[in-house]
Amino acid sequence: MLKRIHHFLYRTAIVWKMAAASAISWEAAKLAGSTHPYLAPLSVILCLQVTVDKSLLFGIQRILGTIAGVLFTVYIAPYVGMNAWSLGLLILVSAALIHGIGFDKVVINQVALSILLVLYFQGRDPGYTGDRIRDTVIGCAVAIVIHIFVFPPNFTKQAIEDLYTYTDRLTDRFRRVSQWLNNGCAPAAGIMIQNDARSLFDELQQTIDQFSKAEKSLQYHPFVQKSRALLQQYHGQLIHLKQGYAHLTGMLRTLSEWSSSGRMTTEDRTLWGRRMHAIAEHLHNWKQNIMLLEQGKSGYFTPAADVSVLETMPAALALPASSEDARFAFALHNDTLQLLQDFK
């Protein structure tokens, strides 16, 4: 029951953290003497991002942009007044200066927003200028503190799940190649398999991006030693998946060329069909093995299938019929040995 409640709170954290932080920042702004306490929860709502590092960066940018915009307006506004042309001029000059210094769009937006609001409220509400700076700092600080210490985002589990999913997809592609070989290597089916295999590249990049997101989510996380160590272990497995993709596309290209040459015999197709299936089993075994890392039981895995046959040269390849056949056969065997080395 407690685990279910914990999971629900974590899954909905962005919702209730925004509400709680908004209420707390409003009260904090009032205690600090603000007559515009809504500015603090406004900063909370804008500052809460997917990860802590993004929230921290946005908070710093909002504070810097607000201070710059307020100071710029306070010193220049008395000389230009409040009208459409003065507003446009102030925003143009300030945005050009901020851009020239090297700040990005977020800071420019905050500067422009502060100029607009301060220019409008300055003559009507003298206290607005000071409240805007103070309440912005309060709101950003409350948002960041709550984001760090109360159910901070942690995408380690999602990254690991994506790695498992990609491994399954890579395994499935080798099984499809095996089926294609066993069904006679139809050219149209071969083209479809090659196109399908190339699509794995985008999925691999998404998996890599998810690990990058997970690493960033842990940067300012105070209680994640276990998650950080686990993520580092799994991150090291990504190189194997990159190599697996390269082997798949390379072997599929070799098989397609061999089949198109008309020199691939029924025995060749049967042999390599079995070997592609054995490679798929090897990848499945590898996934089952690395899953034990998550459970802290690495080193206790017993393979469910014997793929030792992949380590030796098939007897049918010992004396190939021609040098052309040898080129295809040995290229495939070399890729097989490298794949076994990568997925130990």
Query: pLDDT by residue (tens digit) across 279-292?
Result: 999 999 899 888 88
Cα separation, 112 vs 284, whole angstroms: 55
Q: What angle do CA 40, 119, 101 make, to 5 degrees?
A: 80
Best CA proximity match to 162, nearest among 218, 229, 231: 231
Exposed e or buried b per residue across 321-331, where buried means at least 16 C-beta atoms within 10 angstroms of its C-beta: eeeebeebbeb
Give the pLDDT confidence score for residue 23 in this predicted structure.
96
Instruction: Share the mean pLDDT of the chain.
Output: 86
Reported as a single tens digit per residue, the pLDDT across 23-32 is 999 999 999 9
Reported as a single tens digit per residue, the pLDDT across 296-336 is 655 544 444 556 656 555 555 554 455 666 788 888 988 98
Reported as a single tens digit per residue, the pLDDT across 162-219 is 999 999 999 999 999 999 999 988 888 888 988 888 889 999 999 999 999 888 888 8
- Number of domains into which the chain is organized: 2
Q: Do 302 and 173 fall within a single domain?
A: yes
Q: Do 280 and 184 fall within a single domain?
A: yes
Cα separation, 285 vs 240, whole angstroms: 14
The last residue of one of the domains, among 132, 149, 166, is 149
Q: Do 63 and 180 fall within a single domain?
A: no
pLDDT greater at residue 271 or residue 1: 271
Cα separation, 335 vs 247, whole angstroms: 6
CA distances from 216 to 70, 156, 164, 315 (A): 32, 10, 20, 51
Q: Do 207 and 70 fall within a single domain?
A: no
Q: 41 and 139 in contact (C-beta within 8 Å)? A: yes
- In which domain, by residue range, is 317 found? 156-342
- What is the four-CA torsion angle of 311, 313, 314, 318, rounded to 10 degrees? -170
220: domain CATH number is: 1.20.58
Q: What percent of the chain has pLDDT over 90?
A: 38
DSSP state of 122: T
The last residue of one of the domains, among 149, 170, 191, is 149
pLDDT greater at residue 324 or residue 92: 92
The last residue of one of the domains, among 94, 119, 149, is 149
Cα separation, 272 vs 279, whole angstroms: 10
Cα separation, 62 vs 55, whole angstroms: 10
- What is the four-CA torsion angle of 221, 11, 207, 57, rounded to 10 degrees? -40
Q: Do 250 and 218 fall within a single domain?
A: yes
Q: Do 231 and 260 fall within a single domain?
A: yes
Q: Do 114 and 174 fall within a single domain?
A: no
Q: Do 121 and 167 fall within a single domain?
A: no
- 54 residue type, one letter: K
The separation between CA 160 and the C-alpha centre of its own chain, rounded to angstroms, equals 11
Reported as a single tens digit per residue, the pLDDT across 137-154 is 999 999 999 998 888 888
Give the pLDDT confidence score for residue 121 in this predicted structure.
82
